[in-house]
Structure 1
Amino acid sequence: MSIIADSVKFHGKLSELYELAKKGKIETNLQGSHTRPCKFWTATKILSGIKNSIIITHGPSGCAYGVKQAYKLTNCRNSGQTYEPVISTNIGEKNVIYGGAKELWGAIKEVDKKYSPEVIFVATSCATGIIGDNVDSIIEKMESEVNARLMSIHCEGFSGEYRSGFDLVFKQIVNLMDEPTEQSRAEMSHMVNIVGGKMGAERTEVDTDVKELIRLIKGMGAEVNSVIAGNCTLSEIKRAPSVAVNCALCLDIGYAIGKSMEEKFGTPINSTILPYGIAATERWIRGAAKYLNMEKEAEDLIEKEYMFIKKEFEESKKYLKGKIGIVEGHDAVKSLSIAHMLKCDFEMRPIIFNFHPWSTEARRTSIDYLLETGIDPEILITKGTLAFGKYESMRQTEDELLLFLGDMDIKSLVYFGSSLSFPNIPVIDLNAILNRPRFGYRGALKVAKCINTALQYSFRPRSFLYKTMVFPKNCGLSSAKSLTPKLSQDLPDCTVYAHGRRGQCMMK
């Protein structure tokens, strides 16, 4: 393998990168062009997953517009339920001077009367956070005047990085919960919560990953009280502490609410990485079964699920041992989970490509878990990752990867990433798998088949025409919403960000 030293910023084990980051020996700050959502956005993303609730964004109207477009409309479309609006107090220049208390008071009264929600969340924006509107005092005074439950969410974007928005809301949700009783615990001793859902309803027409986890729980003989916050209700949230165990969907995102519920109510938490592959799925199932007192049922389920896929899985797996899996690292938790699957299930050699050093702090919970379970994947970070631009999709990083791979046989390599990436090796785009799920045993079989199919067609070159659309010659790059969501979105953005054609549609 040919390594071009000038192109490589780091090449080594995850544990080595982790230590360098802790000691400040590698840059962990995001570049100005490598932005993430603000605390306000991530907080409202979780809030959007609670049914029959209204979010009042206390600030300018633009904040409400973004949340509505990104989250609430999507949730209602997925579930087929009536649209639950996102409301704005629509404060302006005068309010920034004199305060927006009057506007907030009126908005709460109007929302309660017009929509009759179970909960009204008041989410503070940067503007109201800066001027210091006393939102808590207003809510306290109004609680007796409205029927809805009121809760303030202090999530102004400047007050924390994006991860803090998730944690803030999950910890706040715990305050909506009822103290469990002996009777409620007994009645719900066969139930679990799946915690760490980031947004609203699952698509009704697709066998999603969450639906697969629910199916496995039910297959063991248990029940799911709620997916928090994935289209959950206030009544589900209230009784949530009485279940036998909280099962984290995503270890990082689910840990905040799981730990808070454990400390406040004594509800145990079953924490694993995303259950990609058989090894991770079995840890997830057995972790839940321990608290449900269903160890025998869990083993029966594991045997049944594996036998269902065994013949096809083993046939697919035997060709994968020793192959190299290059995993795009910009989605840190997902890349760690895929690396775990490749190593444990397929005996492949995973290399996480361009796992930004910033992620060592943002995703430390998942990294700690992975290292504690004995998995220490190889990390490759090229200099393009730390340059200005969208490092997920830059021509520079792809050229650097090809230099790293040198003249290796493409039949021994697969690339786990976006279909809009163009390394000259077989590509597996898990976001483009529409006939999901990707979790569990069925997901493991699906991934194994995808790898083998990609290897079988390794002789077929990627589309030169499509590559020129993604990377226009001598004029920057085009984007599907800046290529960050890749092909996972319904409607691509065909705008070309290029010299002489900014804002024009590629189809013209």
Structure 2
Amino acid sequence: MQKKINLDISEVQPREQRLGTIIAWDGDIEELHRQSNFAGRAAGCGSGKGCRLCELQGPFSQGSVCSEQMVECQAGNVRDAVLIQHAPIGCGAGQVPYNSIYRNGLAMRGHKVENIRIINTNLGEDDVVFGAADKLRSAIDSAWTRYEPKAIFIATSCATGIIGEDVESIAREKQEEIGVPIIPMACEGFRSKHWSTGFDATQHGILRQLVRKNPKKQEDLVNVINLWGSDVFTPMLANLNLRVNYVIDLASVEDLAKMSEAAATVGFCYTLSSYLAAALEQHFGVPEVKAPMPYGFAGTDAWLRELARVTHREELAEKYIENEHKRVLPRIAELKEKLKGIKGYVATGSAYSHGLIQVLRELDVEVNGSLVFHHDPVYDSGDEKEDSLGHLLKNYGNVENFHVSNRQQYQLYAFLQKVHPDFMLIRHNGLAPLASRLGIPAAPLGDEHIAIGYQGIINLGETILDILARKKFHNSIKAHVKLPYTDWWIKQKDPYILARQNKI
């Protein structure tokens, strides 16, 4: 059984220590699942054979994001709170795209559209030498004066970690003075090799300081852990007479506080929801719905039935499942006919990729390659029903070219040459331009809920048809641009040659 999450300590344990997360691996799903040993790792491994998951070690990183940026896109998206980045100004570069995403998300959910509330302390050389405690105090005062928020989050940075800034003491001092929760989050970029630890850092702070300790339970309320996507869960769960509490992005401080009052917690991606859902169950008695993610028929059926079991709504769920199957099957049959012979590729976060591949195979789209930005061998609950990679393998079969690579564009070229897809699904748009240079149209999935549930199968199929209609445009790009790589690299067949052959 997995260790209980410790909320008594102020800093979250990095994913590579807690879950065994890796950011570089090469093979197929069958072998990765075997090496991951989900059940053995959940039981604590001990001397169990195959518990250690080996990782390829590359000589450099061409580009990625860090844990602090994930705090920026989580805590920075709480509507009536403020996030302070105690960092050099360069760490605030993400405020520009995150502001756009935040405003779009508010519009999609029917909230008042406004700018993101993030303040950067703009650390300089003197601050790194002499400390910047007064700058942080001043930033907290400014946040309170300008916005009067219900809570103030503080994100640490590599700079504050290096100088050993005592952020916790300052947060306690100012919290007593101002009277609202001030939540420090340890998320220095060098703390973890993968950015998903930033999700956990935000969730850890919220669990410690915002979630109600003595909740009054609401039997029809369900926490939905999500990012900024469109509101697909409200109409879906309304069929089970359930209400949705969206967290963390676009939530209010009150929404976060009442998470302990919910009847259950669900998520659209275990990469995002693993830590928060497990901690809500362990510390606040809110059951985590342990089931495959709601992608494709097999996953959505199982997800709805488990949610219904936990909330005692089995008859409503069966009626909804039956009606939805009847509704979507004719359109899915039409999409299958139009997508016959089409080959797709998925390049997203780990668990989300598993879900998207399931939906593509429901549409009979061939998928023999995928890039995931990291891989968690196990999730925090340790329950095998959440083994998303195992669910994909069991219900939809193997993926022969399955690569773990932390958004390394130079490797993506070789990945795509192995499979030659007709299109690509991608979450983080920095890789999409390379696909266009190769004549491959890509769908940047800005609305991460597009493929959720039964309607999601149709949504994704129609999206694919839309981007395939622009194939000629991408072929024109291919004909007129030059790749930014040497002839030597373009000729390489092994995307991980730099990791396997250190002499190079």
Instruction: Identify unmatched segments of 5+ residues in structure 2.
Output: 1-24, 37-49, 107-111, 427-431, 487-504
What residue is the counterpart of 1:119 in the other structure?
Answer: 151
* Helix, strand or coil at the partner of 1:48: helix
Answer yes or no: is 1:464 the counterpart of 2:480.
Answer: no
In the alignment, which of 235, 242, 245 is matched to residue 215 of structure 1? 235
In the alignment, which of 314, 320, 328 is matched to residue 309 of structure 1? 328
In the alignment, which of 159, 164, 170 is matched to residue 191 of structure 2? 159
Using the alignment, how far apart are the partners of 1:302 and 1:308 within structure 2? 10
What residue is the counterpart of 1:379 in the other structure?
Answer: 400
The correspondence of residues 7-18 of structure 1 with structure 2, limited to 5 A, is 13-18=28-33
Post-superposition offset of 1:423: 10
What residue is the counterpart of 2:19 in the other structure?
Answer: none
What residue is the counterpart of 1:499 in the other structure?
Answer: none
1:445-464, CA deviations, whole angstroms, 9 ceiling, x for partnerless residues? Answer: 23345667899x89x86753
Residues 350, 423 of structure 1: alpha-carbon distance in 2 compared, 3 angstrom cutoff:
farther
Residues 192, 248 of structure 1: alpha-carbon distance in 2 compared, 3 angstrom cutoff:
same
Using the alignment, how far apart are the partners of 1:25 and 1:143 within structure 2? 43
The letter of the residue matching 1:17 is L
Matched residues, percent identical?
A: 20
* Helix, strand or coil at the partner of 1:40: helix
The correspondence of residues 191-206 of structure 1 with structure 2, limited to 5 A, is 191-195=221-225, 197-198=226-227, 201-202=228-229
The letter of the residue matching 2:400 is I
* Helix, strand or coil at the partner of 1:75: helix
Post-superposition offset of 1:20: 5.4
Check the 8 A contact 1:332/1:359 in 2, yes or no: yes
Using the alignment, how far apart are the partners of 2:172 and 2:104 within structure 1? 34
Post-superposition offset of 1:92: 2.1
Using the alignment, how far apart are the partners of 1:36 and 1:229 within structure 2? 23
The letter of the residue matching 1:68 is Q
Answer yes or no: is 1:327 the counterpart of 2:342.
Answer: no
1:345-392, CA deviations, whole angstroms, 9 ceiling, x for partnerless residues? Answer: 346653233457x53659898993331572452231589x79975333
Q: Which moved more, 1:120-129 or 1:302-311?
A: 302-311
The correspondence of residues 212-361 of structure 1 with structure 2, limited to 5 A, is 212-224=232-244, 226-272=245-291, 274-317=293-336, 325-343=343-361, 345-346=362-363, 350-355=367-372, 359=375
The correspondence of residues 467-506 of structure 1 with structure 2, limited to 5 A, is 467-469=478-480, 472-473=481-482, 476=485
What residue is the counterpart of 1:43 in the other structure?
Answer: 71
Using the alignment, how far apart are the partners of 1:98 and 1:433 within structure 2? 42
The letter of the residue matching 2:368 is I
Using the alignment, how far apart are the partners of 2:118 and 2:436 within structure 1? 39
Using the alignment, how far apart are the partners of 1:242 and 1:142 within structure 2? 29
Residues 98, 380 of structure 1: alpha-carbon distance in 2 compared, 3 angstrom cutoff:
same
Post-superposition offset of 1:27: 4.5
Using the alignment, how far apart are the partners of 2:316 and 2:133 within structure 1? 56
* Helix, strand or coil at the partner of 2:356: helix
Post-superposition offset of 1:319: 7.6
In the alignment, which of 160, 170, 179 is matched to residue 213 of structure 2? 179
Check the 8 A contact 1:350/1:377 in 2, yes or no: no
Check the 8 A contact 2:293/2:299 in 1, yes or no: yes
* Helix, strand or coil at the partner of 2:61: coil
Check the 8 A contact 1:61/1:90 in 2, yes or no: yes
Between the two proteins, the alignment pairs up a number of residues equal to 431
Using the alignment, how far apart are the partners of 2:183 and 2:53 within structure 1? 42
Post-superposition offset of 1:229: 0.9
In the alignment, which of 453, 467, 488 is matched to residue 440 of structure 1? 453
1:168-199, CA deviations, whole angstroms, 9 ceiling, x for partnerless residues? Answer: 21122112111244xx21xx10110101x24x
What residue is the counterpart of 1:149 in the other structure?
Answer: 181
* Helix, strand or coil at the partner of 2:251: coil
Residues 347, 143 of structure 1: alpha-carbon distance in 2 compared, 3 angstrom cutoff:
same
1:410-458, CA deviations, whole angstroms, 9 ceiling, x for partnerless residues? Answer: xxx8544367536999x77443698983322222123345667899x89
What residue is the counterpart of 2:494 in the other structure?
Answer: none
Using the alignment, how far apart are the partners of 2:278 and 2:448 within structure 1? 34
1:112-139, CA deviations, whole angstroms, 9 ceiling, x for partnerless residues? Answer: 1221011111111111111111111112
Check the 8 A contact 2:158/2:189 in 1, yes or no: yes
Answer yes or no: is 1:189 the counterpart of 2:185.
Answer: no
Using the alignment, how far apart are the partners of 1:449 and 1:57 within structure 2? 40
1:217-246, CA deviations, whole angstroms, 9 ceiling, x for partnerless residues? Answer: 11222111x211121111111111111100
> Whose RCO is larger (CA < 8 A, sep 6+)?
2
Q: Which moved more, 1:141-150 or 1:259-268?
A: 141-150
Using the alignment, how far apart are the partners of 2:343 and 2:34 within structure 1? 24
Greater radius of gyration (CA): 1
